[in-house]
Structure 1
Amino acid sequence: MNEDLFFKDLDAHRWDLTVFDEESVEKQPVLRVGLVATFYLVDAYLPVRRKHIAEAFELYCNHYGDKLTCGYMGSEEVITQEFCPSTMRHCLSYIQSDGYSDSASFMWSSQQGFEHPGEYMFEALLPVEWFERIHNALSVIRFYLPLEEIKDNGAGGIDKLIFDMCNILRPLHGSAGLGIQNSYELQNYQHIEYDLLENYRGLDLTLLIANESWRTGYTNLNWYTYIAHHWVRKLGTTEDLLKQLDDVRIGILPYEWGTIFRAGDWPALGKADIDPRPELYVMVNEVIKPLRVSNIGSLHYGSIAGEVRFNERTSNLWMRRFDLPKGSPKHQPTPLYRRLSAEEQQRLNTDKKILDDFLK
């Protein structure tokens, strides 16, 4: 998929991907699809880890801080505050509070209030040390961007942002790409999330409160999927991964603390009746799924009026949506996109030089 095809596909389905509350007079979305990046961290109560989270928030603010208008700080009571330079400095100090005695929680958004999702948003949920130790909790960092950011800055700009964030945050695992951007009233719209995720298989759903089993494997596969190096080593070296994912459209981006897998130059919507298993997502999934958690748990609360929401069974089926049916043949590299060996690349460079010299 190229840029033109991606945005043509997006425009064709744009109104399916933005949900309004019909009873609201405010005429603002209560749920939308945009860029969502989520990072699951361990030991984030340590001073050095809290410092990294502050650096990640500062990086986001350097790019998009002028878009943020409102939010909160504090894990005991949610009090709305205006976002401004002094608030940002206060938040940076707050993030670096003592993780051995204090949890930390904050959210800053481009949207006033909590009933509607902001197109730009950065939030964190950082448990105190004793809570993480006893309950095997994970710290979670998540941010939103509008899809227009890809159009304005290109996929390369997102590439660099994700790479920089992973280097700073050192996540155990996480994902970024097309996802559900919801508000703090998310429980009211989980049945709509279910419908969206059933109809668009390329969309992701991430949670701020992680299941303790999520320490045992990654949970989400998206356009970008990042996994810590001590897990990725189980799959082999970077060279081994390049051989298994023999397609130049797939990015394998090692960094100091792990590896980022990028399933194509552009994300895929994965419309269920057209492209339910996007090719590159399936290829990445087939290679890394040995590292996946065995049971993701339930992604939604229980139904309260007969509406369909995710339960534990359907959540696990959704997590496995890119799995090929049992007995399916192994995906063969497409000759057009296969990676060149070092020898082939050298011959190609030599031939190019000969041609260039001839044309001079």
Structure 2
Amino acid sequence: MFERNEMPEEMSKLLAMFDDDLTARNPGGEAMLAVGLLAAVYFAEPWRREVREIVAQFAEDYITRWASELCWALNPQSLSMDPFVAAEGVKPTTFSSLADEDDAFSIAASGASDPYGASAVHIGAFAPALVRRDELGFIRFGCPLVPSARSRFHLPDVLLELCKKLRPVSGYAGMGMFTSLDSASSQRWEGPLYELAQRFPGLEMEYSISHSIYLAEGRDGKGGIKGVNWLTAISDVWLDELGGAAAVAADLRDLDPRYILHRYDGGLLIQAGDRPALGDTERDAWPDLYVKLARYLKPIRITRHSAFGSGGRGWAFGPQEVRAWLARFDDR
């Protein structure tokens, strides 16, 4: 998405905090945080086989595309991360849980050097069993911010094709942080991650398991969107509250002609400019397209959410801090 010689100033400042692989490591050399392009979508009826088949096929295509970069995949039987070359988890379309509504369906693959490390080359998906009909499933995936010649990945096209097939209730993509898959390890990095979030407002914070709960009930007991980023996918269910997809598209064109609008059956993918933005609060620099979009979509944004992360010692992203982060663009 970016070449190193064309980075905006705020992105150069962020990347200077990480090593040449755009990762932050613990004293043992294990990657605990990684910078990259991050996407996440949330979908309804996650127990249905038809839905799971779309999720599985997308994940399998991603795994095939990034096979040379991947090191680990989730074993669907043991639920442990196995070395990629011998992993049973590289073919999600064959998982037995695909057709079992009473069983959860999980997928994970990572390019980290150790099984629970952080990597921008990562995909994770979860579809809960049929327990509550309002539960959401999710897919999150990423790609490097600075692509190599063999790893070109046009995120708007990829996300749009997924939305056309899956018709998610909401989703988003932009610059984000990938954390360690080990909760005990990632907890020790919650403080630095919080500080990065305070400085760079365009940096997405992703906690998919808890998001899936509050995206279904975090707006006066009903669902809504988490917020905005470079790419923001919204279902017609929420667009209808704003007058419908056509009205929203017309409003956004009037708001700023730099918005790129991708209509698909069941929703709208809003692209805030040609490239993702980051912002830098230390310079009072805010990504203006994100700010305008966040204000416009505020009526359908969730207002309630639990703590991000472990909620452990220090509670860097406690409930109050989370509410402030969700509303970070409102008064700009």
Question: 2: distance between equivalents of 1:208 and 1:262?
Answer: 21
In structure 2, the CA distance between the partners of 1:146 and 1:54, relative to structure 1 (3 Å rule), is: same
Deviations 1:156-206 (A, max 9, x none): x22211111112222111111101111113222111110110111110111
Percent of aligned pairs with the same amino acid: 24
Write out aligned runs for 1:121-270 (5 A). Answer: 121-130=122-131, 132-133=132-133, 136-149=134-147, 157-185=154-182, 186-211=186-211, 212-215=213-216, 216-245=223-252, 246=254, 247-270=256-279
CA distance in 1, matches of 2:90, 2:202: 37
Distance change in 2, residues 1:115/1:309 (3 Å): same
Corresponding position of 1:54:
56
Structure 1 residues 323 and 124, CA, compared in 2 at 3 Å: closer, same or farther?
same
The one of 310, 317, 331 aligned to 1:310 = 317
1:45-101 deviations in whole A, cap 9, x for unaligned? 101011111121133234323322212133x74323232498466422117623412
Q: CA separation in 1, counterparts of 2:189 and 2:180?
A: 9
Structure with the bigger percentage of helix: 1
The one-letter code of the counterpart of 2:155 is I
The aligned counterpart of 2:73 is 71
RMSD, aligned CA: 2.7
Cα pair distance change 1:297/1:117, threshold 3 Å:
same
The match for 2:38 is: 36
The equivalent residue for 1:322 is 329
The one-letter code sitting in structure 1 at the alignment partner of 2:106 is S
Unaligned runs of 5+ in 1: 326-360
Q: Aligned residue for 1:296?
A: 305
Q: 1:239 to 1:257 in 2, by over 3 A?
A: closer
Mapped contact 1:201–1:276 kept (Cα < 8 A): no
Deviation of 1:14 (Å):
0.9
- CA offset digits 1:116-162 (Å, max 9, x no partner): 212311111221112x44xx43212111211023998878x222111
The answer on whether the counterparts of 1:227 and 1:258 sit within 8 Å (CA) in structure 2 is yes
Q: Distance in 2 between matches of 1:19 and 1:84?
A: 24
After TM superposition, the structure 1 stretch with the greater mean CA deviation from structure 2, 9-18 or 100-109, is 9-18
Q: 1:285 corresponds to which residue? A: 294
Give the distance between the partners of 2:16 and 2:53, measured in 1 at CA.
40
**Distance in 1 between residues matched to 2:96 and 2:72, nearest whole Å:** 17
Q: Residue type of the partner of 2:147?
A: E
Q: Is the 8 A contact 2:74 2:107 kept in 1?
A: yes
Cross-structure match for 2:99: 98
If you compute each CA radius of gyration, which structure gives the higher value, 1 or 2?
1
Q: TM-score, normalised by structure 2?
A: 0.85
Q: Could you tell me how far apart the structure 1 residues matched to 2:228 and 2:23 are? A: 24
Render the CA deviation track for 1:212-255: whole Å, top value 9, x for unaligned.
33111111321111111121122224442244222221112111
Pick closer, same or farther for the CA change 1:96–1:102 going to 2, 3 Å: closer
Aligned to 2:83: 82
Which segment drifts farther, 238-247 or 223-232? 238-247
1:108 is aligned to 2:109: yes
User: How far 1:259 sits from its partner (Å)?
Assistant: 0.7
Partner Cα distance (2:85, 2:106) in 1: 18
Conservation of the 8 A alpha-carbon contact between 2:187 and 2:312: no
Alpha-carbon contact 1:56-1:169 (below 8 Å) kept: no
Residue 338 of structure 1: aligned partner? none
1:332 paired residue number: none
AA matched with 1:269: L
Gaps of 5+ in 2: 217-222
Question: Amino acid of the residue matched to residue 127 of structure 1?
Answer: P
